[in-house]
Amino acid sequence: MARNLLKNPCGEEQMEHWELTENGGSEWVVQDMPGDCGHSFGDDGVTKYFATSFELCLKRQVVDLVSEEYSPEELDTQPAVTVEDWYCGRTDCGCIYQLTVCLLDENQEVLQEFKPDNVTLDCDDCSWRQVTHTFSDYGEGLRFISFEHGGRDNSYWDGWFGVRVTGSAIRVEL
C-alpha cells in the first residue's frame, strides 16, 4: 500500500500541518477517542480526532508531490490517487460534514475535483463512516493535491458538537 501523504491525519500533533480555512464558533479542537457522546473508532491506533463547532470549520493541506519525491514523469503517467476520510457525529447533536479534494497542476489550477454532497448526520446514527474516492484519467500535469474537510453542528450549540474527522489519507499508487 502506498504511504499516506497527509501529515497529522488524526490530530496526534494537534493542528500542526493544517491550514485553518474556516475556524468558526468555538474553533477547531483535537479530542481523545471516543469523546463525549461518541463511538470508538475500531482501530486502536487511532486515539484522537478533530472536532468542529457551531459555525463552519474547515481545514486544508496542500501536498506538493514533487517535494514528496514523485518525479514529474511519474506523475504524468496519471497514477491512481486515492483519498479517504473518516467522519462521525455525536449522540446528542446532529451535524454536517463536507469534503473537497482537488488535483492541481504546477500553477495550482484544478485538473479534477472530488466534492461529494454535504452529509447531514442525525443523532441516532453517529458511528464512524468512511468516504473514499480514486481519481483517474485526469490528464498530465498533476503536481499538487488539495485536501479540505470539516463541517459544523446543526443546532448552533456553543462548544464542539459538530462533525468529527480523523484518519484522513491521500495515496498515490505508482
Encode pLDDT of 84-121 as tens digits: 999 998 878 888 999 999 999 999 999 999 999 999 88
- Considering the domain boundaries, does residue 122 fall inside one? yes
Asked if residue 3 is part of any domain, the answer here is no
- Residue located via cell numbers 482501530: 43
Pairwise CA distance, residues 116 & 109, whole Å: 20
Q: What is the pLDDT of residue 37?
A: 66
Percent of the chain past pLDDT 70, that is, above it, reads 97
In a domain, 132, yes or no: yes
Task: Report how many domains make up the chain.
Answer: 1
How far apart, in whole angstroms, are the C-alpha atoms of residue 24 and residue 56? Answer: 5
Answer whether residue 14 is part of any domain. Answer: no
Is residue 9 in a domain? no
> Is 71 part of any domain?
yes
Q: Specify if 102 maps to a domain.
A: yes
C-beta of residue 104 within 8 angstroms of C-beta of residue 148: no
For the ranges 29-33, 94-98, 135-139, 159-163, the lowest mean pLDDT is seen at 159-163
Residue 135 near residue 111, CB atoms below 8 Å: no
Query: What CATH number does residue 35 fall under?
Result: 2.60.120.260
Decide if pLDDT at 68 tops 70.
Answer: yes
> Model-level pTM?
0.92
CA gap 38, 84 in Å, rounded: 21
The answer to whether residue 4 is domain-embedded is no
Rounded Cα–Cα distance for residues 35 and 17 (Å): 23
168: amino acid identity, one letter? S
Q: What is the mean pLDDT of residues 67-91?
A: 95
Rounded CA separation 15/51 (Å): 11
What range does the domain containing 161 cover? Answer: 21-173
